[in-house]
Amino acid sequence: MPSDERKGIALDAIRSRIELFHSAVATASDQVRGLLSGSGNTADDQSVALGHFAEGKVNVDRFASFAPKAARINDEAEAPIRAAQEVLTSLLAEGDELFVLQLEEGRGLGRQVGMRFAKIGRAFAAARVIELAKRGAYKEDKHAATLERFPFAQWNSSERALAPALVIELTGADLKPAAIIPLLDAKIKFVFNLDGDAPAAALSRVVSPSVFVQQETGDAPLEAFAGFDGMAVAALLPANAASFVHDPAAGETSFERFVSVAFPKEVKKRAIGGLSPTQQAEDYALLESLSVAPVATGDAASDPAGKLSAWLLSQTNLSA
């Protein structure tokens, strides 16, 4: 599948998160402008707001004297609020690209995601700066820097609940999903869009009871992922990977939560990035142990679990 098509699928899957974040930022941005222009506190603002139709017909200064006046901010507050407003505007101007991270090869997934979150977090910092400035509690030495970088660790729970999702474009060599586990909280979502080879059970290590995890090898939209109201991770992988959906809402035990699992017929026996065939087999075994219900009796070769076990046995030489 062409990568821009996959990027489209990935973005669609996080669209509602993007919109929620965007709408909160856009709304805040408009409110701040209102605060700064005092909704017509100056005759100039009022004259502009009244539009050109009024030119020569309305005495704008007089009109302004009747216009509703919002609480005026004091002069000390104005500079930090303007700086915060610029942050909001600049983040809005980035559009969808703010939520797409093209991973630079070999520079570490966790580090780069952390940096992007610190950038997105500037919106939260801006909101805080505005509140602080309004209350006269803004301290330049303490708060100015947060407008440049506001890392995930400093986000509070309601900020995390509003946190957007990220599409991460990367090669299989960089897909070490354990790196994002510390960033999973509230309703944060990640979609990995992989280029080239990928470990077949890449996401098995992020499966945990409350995280929605999906590996997808086809071109189906990630609807269940998009609709899940909580932490979620998905990966768009090449055809030779496993595909599965782990839905925390589907059951108590891990194998109940795996609502669909499909294993590939064969897996290439070679290292991907630093991940050796043995490590890949371990991931695979982990996925099997989580997703397949224990079978008490019956023909081992005819049920899925049995097939998987048989397959795993046939792969033992991988570790050689």
Residues that bind another protein in the complex, under the rule CB under 8 A: 19-20, 22-34, 37, 39-40, 45, 48-54, 56-60, 62-63, 66-71, 88-89, 92-93, 123-124, 126-127, 130-131, 156, 158-159, 162
At its nearest, how many Å lie between another protein and the CB of residue 228? 18
Least CB distance to another protein at residue 100 (A): 18
Give per-residue burial for 140-170: e unless 16+ CB within 10 Å, then b. eeebeebbeebebeebeeebeebbbbbbbbb
Q: 100 and 7 in contact (C-beta within 8 Å)?
A: yes
Of 93 and 301, CB closest to another protein:
93
- Are 258 and 290 in contact, with CB atoms under 8 Å apart? yes
* Dist CA 13 CA 228 (whole Å): 10
Closer CB to another protein, 37 or 279, in the complex: 37
15/149 with CB nearer another protein: 15
| Alpha-carbon span 214 to 245, nearest angstrom | 4
Angle between the N-to-C axes of helices 75-93 and 15-37, in degrees from 0 to 180, rounded to the nearest 10? 150
SS3 per-residue string spanning 155-167? CCHHHHHHCCCEE
**Nearer residue to another protein within complex by CB, 42 or 253:** 42
Strand, coil or helix: what is 179? helix
φ and ψ of 145, to 5 deg = -65, -25
Residue 97 vs 266, nearer CB to another protein: 97
| Min separation Cβ 164 and another protein, Å | 12
C-beta of 81: minimal distance to another protein in Å?
A: 11
User: Taking the complex as a whole, how short is the minimal distance between the CB of residue 288 and another protein, in angstroms?
Assistant: 36
Q: How far apart are CB 115 and another protein at their closest, in Å?
A: 21
Nearer to another protein, 41 or 291 (CB): 41
